[in-house]
Amino acid sequence: MQKGAKKLKLGLAALAVLMAVFVVSGCAHAKADDPKIQTIERVLELQFNGPDKEFLKVMWNPANKQIIDGVEVNEAFDQLVEDQYGPYFTDKELDQFIRVFGTYFPGLADIYGYELRLEDADIEVSETVADRYVFTAEVAFQKRGGKEQRAEVEGFVLFSGIQEGKIGKFTYTSDQGLSERLRQ
């Protein structure tokens, strides 16, 4: 009877492993098919691959800036932002994101001579808040001629309930000291 019990245990163990593989691969497939996750990945790629020299050149170039009704306007930069980020954000959040986060990491990398590269992004759907996703982005960064380093940048994204598939809120919550390390 011990042979039969061993075979049964072995069979159950194999079945459990097989079920775990199906569950994990099913979840991975579901994530890959989620257009909201793809949207977040694309924004993270724009943020952490570069810095994009054209983007920064248009942003910093004083020839692109003019004062209209007492407000500095850079129409070339606004158009570039709309082209690159506009498909992913609501109009209201696009402006907020660019002012608060959108130029922060690329700008620091450019000023202090670093290259950024998005290595990986782990994006999870919130189980408690509708249309909320949390992410951890693994970012490699290297000063020209220096040693490559890594940091994880965490944040969350809320998708709009009005504009389907568009980001209504994008926030970085932690960068493991990446911004301070870029300033070195």
Examine the domain organization and report whether 23 and 95 are in the same domain.
no
**Looking at residue 117, what is its pLDDT?**
98
Examine the domain organization and report whether 14 and 105 are in the same domain.
no
Q: Which domain holds residue 76?
A: 35-182
Instruction: Flag whether the pTM goes above 0.85.
Output: no
> Token pair for residue 50?
């570069």
What is the percentage of the chain residues whose pLDDT exceeds 90? 78
Examine the domain organization and report whether 65 and 19 are in the same domain.
no
Q: Where are the alpha helices (DSSP H) in 34-131?
A: 35-48, 53-60, 75-85, 91-97, 104-112
Ranges of the chain with pLDDT below 50? 8, 10-30
Examine the domain organization and report whether 52 and 143 are in the same domain.
yes
**Looking at residue 21, what is its pLDDT?**
38
pLDDT digits (tens, 9 = 90+) for 34-78: 999 999 999 999 999 999 999 999 999 999 999 999 989 999 999
Examine the domain organization and report whether 2 and 60 are in the same domain.
no
Examine the domain organization and report whether 78 and 158 are in the same domain.
yes
**Looking at residue 30, what is its pLDDT?**
46
Examine the domain organization and report whether 18 and 39 are in the same domain.
no
Examine the domain organization and report whether 14 and 89 are in the same domain.
no
Examine the domain organization and report whether 86 and 99 are in the same domain.
yes
Domain count, the chain: 2
CA 11 from chain centre, in angstroms, equals 42
